[in-house]
Amino acid sequence: MKIVFAGTPEFAAHAMRAIEQAGHEIVLVLTQPDRRAGRGMQLHASPVKLAALEKQIPLIQPESLKRNASDPHKQLEASQAYALLNQISFDAMVVVAYGLILPQEILDVAQTAGRHGCFNIHASLLPRWRGAAPIQRAIEAGDPTTGVSIMQMNAGLDTGDVVLTGAIPIAVAETSSTLHDKLAVLGATLVVETLARLQEGKELQRTPQPTDGITYAEKILKKEAEIDWALSAVEIDRRIRAFNPFPGSTSSLNGEAFKFWQSAVAESAPVTKTALAGEVLGLSDGSAYIQCGQGVIEVQEMQKPGGKKMSASACLQSATSQENRMQFLKE
């Protein structure tokens, strides 16, 4: 089939490559404009753009798809995108972590006679974790399982009918990085299966989302990454793993902001009745044991300012402070 694909990050690029490898023709790619990033603030193309350029697939990068935007430049780009979608021949549209809202008129173009509509790959089992950060929020909440939903898009925020799902367990040591990769593979598999069913003329079972169990995965903010040691070890561990790789949990030791990348709730740890929340209780076998508001967390991987990721014990042993008592604080 001929597919219009809209997406931006690597999660989307993985699905895009799978669709093409399954024998479908991607006739147009929509992705976000290049963004400045890194120390030099150089412009960087999205993973989806790079994949499209590699395969010489036509692409556009509008800043908005709203033809009634207040900015005349955005209006023009949106109008051009709308006209192009009306001109080209395609069978279905697939959207994966695109980052722009698709207005109803775009959805209507994908739903015109002879077309199958617009399908979204969403990294949760809807209606749980609608919104921007379903992977991170599932780990932060301690969900035992998550998955991918293939959804027939409508104008709401992840509110469309679900046509296919797949579930996977969230491992005890799971980070957003590792879970992202698993869900990217699952999402690619499910969207290819969805397109195969459409191509074979099979009826998709569209299941409206229930009104019970709706939760929203708000966008991750950098300020959330600062560790509050008054929380329990269970809560802090979940947040450290949820915020790996972005934005990376942080805490201050002697005025320096350290990052925390991997952790677990300590099953056994040094016991100190007078320990304060955030106090390092001991170092052992590569780990650092830190007192929390309730319980002790075993931090396994850390990073000091300007340094590389390393075992928590090595990181703290190489820290500038030589004090016998080390206590992390909120910055």
Comparing C-alpha atoms, which of 172, 182, 148 is closest to residue 162? 148
The annotation places the binding site at 124-127
Comparing C-alpha atoms, which of 115, 106, 198, 105 is closest to residue 150? 198
Phi, then psi, of 230 in degrees rounded to 5: -75, -15
Cα 134 to Cα 139: distance, rounded to the nearest angstrom: 9
The annotation places the binding site for (6S)-5,6,7,8-tetrahydrofolate at 124-127
Cα–Cα separations (whole angstroms), residue 173 to 263, 278, 287, 300: 8, 21, 14, 11
Cα 64 to Cα 52: distance, rounded to the nearest angstrom: 20
The DSSP string of 163-203 is: EEEEEEE--TT--HHHHHHHHHHHHHHHHHHHHHHHHTTPP
Tokens 């003329």 found at? 201
